[in-house]
Amino acid sequence: MVTIVGAGPAGLATAASLKRRGIVYRLLERGDSLGYSWVNLYDSLRLHTGKHLSHLPGYRFGSATPLFPSREDFVRYLRDYARHFGIAVETGKDVAAVSKAGDGWRITTADGESHDAAALVMSTGIIANPRVPVLPGQDRFRGRVMHSVEYRRPNEFIGRRVLVVGVGNSGGEIGTELARAGAHVTLLERTGANVVPLMLAGLPIQYVAYVMRWLPRGARARIIGRVQRIMEKKHGPPVLPRPPYSALDAIPLIGFHLVEAIREGLIEVRRAGLSGLTETGARFSDGSEADYDVVLLATGFAPALAPLGESIRTDGKGFALRSDRVTSADQKGLYFVGQNYDTTGGLSNIRRDARLAAERIASQ
């Protein structure tokens, strides 16, 4: 029997792939529904990846689904996927710890229940583990400090002063939505951002990246450079400086919504570090201070691997070391789905890795 931890897209894809091979599994989800993390993301979220490369193994999006599915579209798809394959999900099973048990694994949930499994698949993704730095002076700040994962909709922020810390896709989208809804938004950035269009030559940028993936890095870098020059001619010079790394090395800011909001004067940009919080706002590395009602931390996420403790090694970003795309480099019978992220999209990687994990488990 195989235990899968996490019933988001990675866990569901893994369960379907195992079931098609006749392998018995248990799929455990900490929340009260499958896709719990996706159910609780902000209302206006849309996938940056087109539906043709964002489906899970063996089941595509319906023809009526828009090219870039909304959060609601995607959650509906996950539920349809589970029904299509008859995937059983055990909700309310928050896995607190896992440990070796002979040649297999012992899985213990937060309520003290334990069971053994011959193989373990961690499909917990990253959304379940937001990076939440503790800021100096946070205990005396009279406003609200929140991570982007807590944000749902702009209504309660209209007219309020919001400092957005971080220039990733979540921070860019949420900051833009808040500004256009009537919040007073300041974006704090230190290293800049690589900005790429959502669509290129009538195709989602992800599709272009997917086709380019077999090219040598040098060729891909030249293509990206040319695209950036074309976009500068169309949209004007960058309003955010380019970071000291390529769009090939980290997920870029996709789309020009944030850029346009900054150009329109809807969002103020501060290029300084955050030294800490005061009673009424923030203090910056250049010595200046400003008042804010809300500090929104768009500081990203880390792989949710806490139940494994020190039984595995991780890389500099917190991802498990693997001997291939899915197999633990440290422990026999341990696999990971949802640990590969690149410009072709996390969901595209999940589709590939779920099948590979099922293949490895079948031959274990």
The predicted structure's pLDDT at residue 219: 86
Q: Where are the domains of the chain?
A: 2-129+301-362, 138-297
Is 138-297 in the same CATH topology as 2-129+301-362?
A: yes
Which two three-digit tokens encode residue 147? 């991570």
Fold classification of 138-297 is FAD/NAD(P)-binding domain (3.50.50)
pLDDT above 80 (res 320): yes
The predicted structure's pLDDT at residue 221: 84
pLDDT tens sequence across 17-44: 999 999 999 999 999 999 999 999 999 9
The predicted structure's pLDDT at residue 341: 86
Enumerate residues 6+ apart whose C-beta is below 8 A from 100. 106, 311, 331
Q: What is the mean pLDDT of residues 116-128?
A: 95
Task: Tell me the C-alpha distance between 219 and 207, whole Å.
Answer: 17
pLDDT tens sequence across 44-56: 999 999 999 999 9
The predicted structure's pLDDT at residue 214: 81
The predicted structure's pLDDT at residue 197: 85
pLDDT above 80 (res 234): no
What residue has token string 């938004």? 185
pLDDT tens sequence across 143-167: 999 999 999 999 999 999 999 999 8
Query: Which pTM was predicted?
Result: 0.93
Task: Tell me the C-alpha distance between 102 and 220, whole Å.
Answer: 47
Burial of 170 (0-12, 13-18, 19+ CB in 10 A): buried
Q: Does domain 2-129+301-362 have CATH number 3.50.50.60?
A: yes
Asked whether the beta carbons of 131 and 43 are under 8 A apart, the reply is: no
Task: Provide the pLDDT confidence category of residue 88 given band limits of 50, 70 and 90.
Answer: very high
pLDDT tens sequence across 163-184: 999 988 999 999 999 999 999 9
Question: Which of these, 295, 286, 338, lies nearest to 133 by C-alpha position?
Answer: 295
Asked whether the beta carbons of 329 and 354 are under 8 A apart, the reply is: no
Asked whether the beta carbons of 293 and 277 are under 8 A apart, the reply is: no
Task: Return the C-alpha torsion angle 196, 197, 201, 202, nearest 10.
Answer: 140
